[in-house]
Amino acid sequence: MTAPSAVLEDGHRELVDAFESFIRRELVPLAAELPETADQVPGDLRRYVRKRSAALGFYAGDYPEELGGSDMPFTAVVLLHHAAGRSGCVLAPYALAGSDGPSPLLRNGTPEQVERHLVPLVRGEQTRCLALTEPHAGSDAFRLTTTAVLDGDRWVLNGRKTFVSNAEHAGIALVIAATDLGDGAGPTSGATAFVLPMDQPGLRIGQRYEGMSGEPLFELLLDGVTVGQEAVIGGEEGIGAATALAIDSLSRGRLVVAAMCNGIAEYALRAGVEYAKERRAFGRVIGEYQHVQEHLVTTRAEVESSKLLTLACARLVDEGTESPENAALAKLTASETAVRAVDRSLQVHGATGWVRGHPLEFLYRYVRMTTIIEGTSEVQKVIIARSMGLN
């Protein structure tokens, strides 16, 4: 199969080859340590993969060298995420910085915060979690009830965050809390981002939620957490600026998810095609039946389009001309495509693909989160609609 998207991959071939070789030579063998039915990767292995990948220059590659990154263009990062998804290796995602890696929020931190918190994240030495969602604030993320109140020169935080991923492994939590901006709009007039060490007194993990697959989510309880000014991301200027900061960084996060989705879709497609060429029914390989072809051909068309869209958006990011609705288009397309691609490939596999331990069985559950995280598909559509002047 030749892919039209190759046009946009030029210039990064060597990097992607090196990354794929790393996956093949080091991560696939290490994945042998995980039972086929295991959804969760032990912390020590995640840590090892992250640090190893950072040492090889893949992890958080788009961060500047002085922060421990490799200064690579964002397009390259997108291609790596794509390769990770395409590899089908459960450890590959941990080799790249995702939602537990260096946060764009911290790039706006004070020099001390960058040094103390961001650099270790870029180097893969530690991870973080982001506590934004609340029981009553999901898509509507900034309707916060968690508050940060200034008491003298100390901030006191109270509230309940939920669906926080990576809370059990993270070294720091980025907590978004409502603050009184003194503009008369009340105690929740603005949102401020705080960086807290996970062992901060008053901060603790509450309920644990097992998901359909992969990582569990956690409740994060803040009970009179008292911190100084140094915990406010961006310092003085960061007060009330969380919404702006978050929106600023949305595109990259969404495109990374999109790239991973495209990779997964491609993996599912390949698995389906291979299986269809081997599995026989009624005296023929099933790939000869049009209904089976339908699944695979449709997927192919969707995957190729989605990939082109994602790569084009990544290039816009590198050129500094991205706009939120483009990333929304890409994320929407890629995640929906991936969910369908896995579903169809599983269908082509029949019971073989449904059995616990089969990669498609796992992916079927795993890929499902992609239309929810980083903004649900509906939310992406809202953004797109807005860009078309529809509301």
Partner 1 sequence: MFALSPSQEIVWLHEQMLPGSRAYNFTAVLDLWGALDRDALHAGLAAVLDHHPGLRLELVPSAEGLPGQRVAEGCQPELRHSDFAAEADPEAVFRQLLAAEAEEPLDTERAPLLRWHLVKLAEDHHRLVHVEHHLVHDGHSFAILLRDLFTVYRARVLGESYELATAPSYEDHARSAAGVSRDRALDFWTKELTDAPREVTLPGLARPGTERRHRGGQLRQAIGADLAGRLRERSKTDGHTPFSTLLALLAELLRRHSGHRELVVGTAVGNRPEGFEGTVGMFVNTVPLRLRLDPAAPGTEAVDEVTDVLMRALPYQDLPVQELTRRLGLHTSGADNPLWNVMFSAHDAALPDVQAPGLEVSLYEGFNTGTTRFDLDLVLLPDDRRVVGEKHGAAGMTLVWDYDADLFRESEAVLLSERLLELLRCYLDQPQAPIAELAPAPEAEPAAGPTAEETAAAAPLLDPAAAHDPTALALLAGTERISYGELDRRVTELAERLRAAGVTPGQPVAAVLPRGADSVVALLACLRHGAVYAPLSTEDPAARLGLLLERLSPALVLATRQSALALPAEGVTPALLDGPAFPKAEPTAVLDGAAYLIHTSGSTGVPKPVRVGRAALAGYVAAIAARYGLTSADRVLLFARPSFDVALEEVLPALAAGAALVVPQREVPTGPELVAVLAARGVTVANLPTSYLLAVREDLREALRDGRWTPRLLVLGGERLPARALADLTGATTVLNAYGVTEATVTSTVYEVTAADVAEDGEIPLGTELDGVRMHVLDDMLRPLPAGCVGELVVGGTMVADGYLGLPEPTAARFVTVPALGGARVYRTGDRGYRDLDGRLRFLGRADNQVKLRGHRIELEEIEAAASAELGGRSCAVVLHTDPRTGPRLLGFLEGADRPDQAALHEALARRLPGGLVPASWTAVAAMPTLPGGKPDRAALTRLADRAGDTTAEEPAAPSAFADPGQELIAAAWREVLGHDRFTADSHFFEVGGHSLLAAQLAAYLEPHLGSRPPLRTLFRHAVLADQARALAGGTK
Binding site for ligand FAD (CB under 6 A): 99, 129-133, 138-139, 163-165, 211, 217, 369, 372-373, 376, 378-379, 382
Q: Minimum Å distance from CB 367 to partner 1?
A: 21
Name the residue number minimizing CB distance to ligand FAD.
138
CA 55 from chain centre, in angstroms, equals: 21
Please give the Cα distance from 77 to 150 (Å, whole number). Answer: 39
Q: At what angle do helices 74-87 and 13-22 cross, to 10 degrees?
A: 40
Q: Is 374 noted as a catalytic residue in this protein?
A: yes
Residues in contact with partner 1 by CB under 8 A are: 25-30, 32-35, 38, 40-42, 44-45, 48-49, 52
Please give the Cα distance from 184 to 6 (Å, whole number). Answer: 55
Q: What is the DSSP letter of 230?
A: G
By C-beta, is 30 or 382 nearer to partner 1? 30
Q: Among ligand FAD, partner 1, none, what binds residue 25 when CB lies within 5 to 8 Å by partner kind?
A: partner 1
Q: Among ligand FAD, partner 1, none, what binds residue 187 when CB lies within 5 to 8 Å by partner kind?
A: none
By C-beta, is 97 or 273 nearer to ligand FAD? 97
Gyration radius of the chain over CA positions: 22
By C-beta, is 45 or 373 nearer to partner 1? 45
By C-beta, is 260 or 276 nearer to ligand FAD? 260
Q: Minimum Å distance from CB 162 to ligand FAD?
A: 7
Q: Which residues does residue 130 pair with via DSSP β-bridges, in sequence order?
A: 174
Q: Minimum Å distance from CB 129 to ligand FAD?
A: 6
Q: At what angle do helices 377-387 and 324-349 cross, to 10 degrees?
A: 140
- The tokens of 115 are what? 């040094």
> Out of 26, 278, 374, 378, which one is annotated catalytic?
374
179 three-state secondary structure: strand
Q: Among ligand FAD, partner 1, none, what binds residue 118 when CB lies within 5 to 8 Å by partner kind?
A: none
Q: Which residues does residue 209 pair with via DSSP β-bridges, in sequence order?
A: 217
By C-beta, is 75 or 200 nearer to ligand FAD? 200
Q: Minimum Å distance from CB 42 to partner 1?
A: 5
By C-beta, is 12 or 128 nearer to ligand FAD? 128
C-beta separation of 5 from 311 below 8 A: yes
Q: Minimum Å distance from CB 379 to ligand FAD?
A: 6
200 three-state secondary structure: coil
Q: Among partner 1, ligand FAD, none, what binds residue 29 when CB lies within 5 to 8 Å by partner kind?
A: partner 1
By C-beta, is 300 or 368 nearer to ligand FAD? 368
Q: Which residues does residue 284 pair with via DSSP β-bridges, in sequence order?
A: 281
Residue 195 φ then ψ, to 5°: -115, 125
Q: Minimum Å distance from CB 32 to partner 1?
A: 5
Q: What is the DSSP letter of 339?
A: H
- The tokens of 261 are what? 């989705």
Q: Among ligand FAD, partner 1, none, what binds residue 78 when CB lies within 5 to 8 Å by partner kind?
A: none
The torsion of the CA quartet 186, 106, 173, 70, rounded to 10 degrees, works out to 160
- The tokens of 49 are what? 């993969």
Q: Among partner 1, ligand FAD, none, what binds residue 87 when CB lies within 5 to 8 Å by partner kind?
A: none
Residue 41 φ then ψ, to 5°: -95, 125
Q: Minimum Å distance from CB 179 to ligand FAD?
A: 17
C-beta separation of 195 from 164 below 8 A: no
Active site residues: 374
